[in-house]
Amino acid sequence: MDRRYGDSASIVYHDVTGDGVKTEHSSVLGEIDKGGLLYPVTVIDGTPVYDGAVSYPAILRAVENKLAQSVASD
């Protein structure tokens, strides 16, 4: 991720069994539960985008789309 996007994007892993994670990210965890999503869940800027598996190519596409939207709205 760093090689492609530098400081514009990063990947962070959160283990949802941790109490701190449950507290800090309760909003998105509630959305995941409400939507019946399957872990692991990929979340970009607080919005779940993929569930049930991790796909690095799919994550890269989603990040590229998000960055393109960000540039277009500036």
Q: Tell me the pLDDT band of 25, cut-offs 50, 70 and 90.
A: very high
Residues linked to residue 48 through DSSP beta bridges, in sequence order: 43
Closest CA to 38 of 46, 47, 48: 48
For the chain, the residue count is 74
Mean pLDDT of 11-40: 93
Number of domains in the chain: 1
- What CA–CA distance (Å, rounded) separates 10 from 73? 20
With bands split at pLDDT 50, 70 and 90, how would you rate the model's confidence at 30? very high
Average pLDDT over the chain, rounded to an integer: 90
pLDDT at 18 over 90: no
3-state class percentages of the chain: helix first, strand second, coil last, to nearest 5:
55, 10, 35
What's the domain range around 61? 2-73
Model pTM?
A: 0.81
